[in-house]
């Protein structure tokens, strides 16, 4: 078999040998471009001190390079038809471990503490796009000991994660991602580097995860309730959005809090910074 698992020939050979068929519902678009794989690995700055968690190895094209560079790689794959294939394609790597399961359900902390013990943990993956946001939010919200997340996502989602206040793409996802990490778009990726070709353009985004969030928030639940309310009703002023939200505060109380935070109550949520949201939350929480 062709040693380079990203080559269309290797994929074709594997499909024939195992009778494998792509599953659209599992977001299976496999990488067939060695340069993109190199770029993902380079930007992840992988060394033998690193333990990598990979989401969705597919037939192992990216995994193969990760195994060459990292101390250890643990890949989580949901599709059971890929399990025997991966055991074959990656059999030469003794630093590879496969977990058959759903990345939204497996115990990631156990992977980090048991299987990747003593290593710097990074998540590197070409994500299944139908669950991009839940995966990213799980990795960030659980405050796992993860240093960096370097992932291929839909371009539009990468742009939203990186967007700044006032930008049309700025929203609840931007605030959440930027609260926990510093995002950087590494490279835009065209459709033709995947097989089968997806319907959307892609981008690789790197999230440098903060040891602790950059802003001081007394109660994250309150802050994210405010963020949800502010962006749930984008056309409303922040005063109106918050007064009709689940926060159950009177309009004049909210007005008072916004004034205290030096925020014009007539502004829309989409121009507020993370610091503004934290400030409002801390004032509501201490009420
Ligand atoms: N890494 C491979 C590559 O780049 O060629 C495949 C990437 S493909 C975009 C996404 C992979 O995620 C598929 O292998 C798919 O089966 C797997 N997958 C889908 N849902 C998953 C889930 N909930 N948990 C773990 N893996 C999942």
Atom number, ligand 1, closest to the C-alpha of residue 135: 23
Do 236 and 221 form a contact (C-beta atoms < 8 A)? no
Fold (CATH) for 220-285: Helicase, Ruva Protein; domain 3 (1.10.8)
Cα of 34 to ligand 1 centre, how many Å?
18
- How far apart are alpha carbons 183 and 241 in whole angstroms? 28
Tell me the pLDDT tens digit for each residue of 70-107: 999 999 999 999 999 999 999 999 999 999 999 999 99
- DSSP structural state of residue 164: P
SS (H, E, C) 49-117: CEEEEEECCCCCHHHHHHHHHCCEEEEEECCHHHHHHHHHHCCCCCCEEEEECCCCCCCHHHHHHHHCC
Do 223 and 236 form a contact (C-beta atoms < 8 A)? no
pLDDT at residue 247, as a whole number: 84
- What is the best residue among 10, 15, 56 to mutate for testing ligand 1's pocket, by most ligand atoms within 8 Å of CB? 56
Q: ipTM above 0.85?
A: yes
Tell me the pLDDT tens digit for each residue of 118-157: 999 999 999 999 999 999 999 999 999 999 999 999 999 9
**Least confident range of 15-29, 140-154, 158-172, 224-238:** 224-238
**What pTM, to 2 d.p., does this model score?**
0.96
Residues belonging to the binding site are 29, 31, 56, 77, 102, 126
Cα of 152 to ligand 1 centre, how many Å?
11
Residue 3 reports pLDDT greater than 70? no
Residue 2 reports pLDDT greater than 60? no
- How far apart are alpha carbons 32 and 30 in whole angstroms? 6
Nearest CA to ligand 1 atom 5: 30
pLDDT at residue 45, as a whole number: 98
pLDDT at residue 137, as a whole number: 97
| Residue 169 three-state SS | coil
**What's the chain's average pLDDT?**
95
pLDDT at residue 287, as a whole number: 65
Domain ranges of the chain: 8-209, 220-285
Q: Which residue has the higher pLDDT, 249 or 234?
A: 249
| Residue 206 three-state SS | strand
CATH among 3.90.730.10, 3.40.640.10, 3.40.50.150, 3.40.50.300 for 8-209: 3.40.50.150
């Amino acid at each position: 078999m062709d040693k380079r698992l990203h080559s269309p020939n290797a994929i074709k050979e594997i499909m024939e040998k195992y009778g494998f068929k792509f599953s659209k519902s599992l977001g299976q678009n496999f990488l067939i471009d060695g340069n993109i794989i190199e770029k993902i690995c380079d930007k992840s700055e992988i060394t033998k001190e690193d333990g990598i968690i990979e989401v969705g190895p597919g037939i192992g094209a990216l995994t193969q390079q990760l195994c060459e560079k990292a101390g250890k790689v643990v890949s989580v794959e949901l599709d059971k038809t890929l399990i025997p294939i991966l055991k074959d394609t990656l059999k030469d790597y003794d630093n590879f471990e496969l977990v058959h399961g759903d990345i939204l359900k497996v115990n990631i902390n156990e992977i980090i503490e048991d299987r990747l013990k003593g290593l710097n943990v990074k998540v590197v993956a070409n994500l299944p796009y139908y669950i991009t946001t839940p995966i990213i939010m799980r990795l960030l919200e659980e405050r796992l000991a993860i240093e960096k997340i370097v992932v291929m996502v839909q371009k539009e989602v990468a742009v939203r994660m990186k967007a700044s206040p006032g930008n049309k793409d700025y929203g609840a996802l931007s605030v959440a991602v930027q609260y926990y990490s510093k995002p950087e778009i590494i490279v835009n990726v065209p459709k033709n580097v995947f097989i089968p070709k997806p319907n959307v353009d892609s981008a690789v985004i790197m999230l440098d995860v903060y040891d602790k969030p950059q802003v001081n928030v007394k109660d994250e639940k309150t802050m994210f309730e405010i963020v949800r309310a502010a962006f749930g009703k984008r056309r409303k002023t922040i005063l109106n959005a918050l007064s009709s939200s689940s926060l159950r505060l009177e309009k004049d109380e909210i007005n008072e809090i916004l004034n205290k935070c030096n925020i014009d109550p007539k502004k829309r949520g989409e121009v507020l910074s993370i610091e503004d949201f934290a400030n409002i939350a801390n004032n509501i929480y201490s009420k």
